[in-house]
């Protein structure tokens, strides 16, 4: 069965060019012209989404944020004219698997798609599912396994659940009360400082320097945010 790719873009020339390119490469192609339309086109879920940033009604960043709030991970390739480093960083922090700028080279796009699907197939063949990744962190939910820079680490159940919440929503700032509800449950009646204690323990296991965290950062007056460090050459 061919892979199904959903194109989300409001420029007819772009969607037509992408549709032709992908169909000729053997993919089944769907098209959505706005953010809300894209979110309504997830049944059945596509195997990958090519997402523009500048969309009517709801921009691509918000679409990506909502996709990453869902339990199923659908690979997202952001393909946009916005080329500033801050735009790329924001897209990747919100959960995009790849960020490419227009104009793009068709062979490059096809090569990236093949690489993403190879990764998906490799992890699926091992029964691991597609891992969550953020900077040096990789989390395989099926196997309940976490690696930092390729090295496995041991986490307590609550540390693991806390990290998974952050990795499902990279770049999002979480308040302590929100984390208490999501990790400990609505009935948990403990002090919100419980979150602080677990964050400190988690930092000791994932940060190269826990005293100066670069991944799990404090959001002053609110709580915490998981930040993907910029790639270094």
pLDDT tens digits, residue range 157-194?
A: 889 999 999 998 888 999 998 898 888 875 555 667 88
How far, rounded to the nearest angstrom, does the alpha carbon of residue 94 sit from its chain's CA centroid? 6
In 3D space, the residue among 188, 30, 9 whose CA is nearest the CA of residue 102 turns out to be 9
SS (H, E, C) 71-107: CCCCCEEEEECCCCHHHHHHHHHCCCCEEEECCCCHH
Fold classification of 132-226 (topology level): Arc Repressor Mutant, subunit A (1.10.10)
Confidence (pTM): 0.58
The predicted structure's pLDDT at residue 233: 37
Average pLDDT value for the chain: 87
**Range(s) for CATH 3.40.50.2300 in the chain?**
4-125
Phi and psi torsions of 24, nearest 5°: -65, -25
Fold classification of 4-125 (topology level): Rossmann fold (3.40.50)
**Range(s) for CATH 1.10.10.10 in the chain?**
132-226
Per-residue pLDDT band at 71 (split at 50, 70, 90)? low
Higher pLDDT, 61 or 86: 61
Residue with tokens 């659908």: 74
Cβ within 8 Å of residue 197, ≥6 positions away: none
Rg, the chain, Cα only: 19
């Amino acid at each position: 069965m061919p892979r199904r790719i959903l194109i989300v873009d409001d420029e007819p020339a772009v969607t037509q060019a992408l549709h032709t390119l992908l169909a000729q490469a053997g993919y089944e192609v769907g098209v959505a012209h706005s953010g809300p339309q894209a979110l309504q086109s997830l049944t059945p879920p596509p195997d990958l989404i090519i997402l523009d940033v500048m969309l009517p009604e709801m921009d691509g960043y918000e679409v990506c944020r909502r996709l990453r709030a869902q339990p199923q991970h659908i690979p997202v390739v952001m393909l946009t004219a916005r080329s500033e480093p801050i735009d790329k960083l924001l897209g990747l922090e919100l959960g995009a698997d790849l960020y490419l700028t227009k104009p793009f080279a068709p062979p490059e796009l096809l090569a990236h798609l093949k690489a993403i699907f190879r990764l998906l197939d490799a992890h699926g063949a091992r029964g691991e599912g597609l891992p969550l990744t953020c900077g040096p962190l990789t989390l395989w939910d099926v196997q309940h396994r976490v690696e930092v820079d390729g090295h496995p680490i041991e986490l307590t159940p609550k540390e693991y659940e806390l990290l998974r919440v952050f990795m499902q929503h990279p770049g999002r700032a979480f308040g302590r009360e929100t984390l208490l509800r999501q990790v400990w449950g609505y009935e948990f009646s403990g002090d919100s400082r419980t979150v602080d204690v677990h964050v400190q323990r988690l930092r000791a296991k994932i940060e190269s320097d826990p005293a100066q965290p670069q991944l799990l950062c404090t959001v002053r007056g609110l709580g915490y945010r998981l930040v993907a460090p910029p790639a270094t050459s």
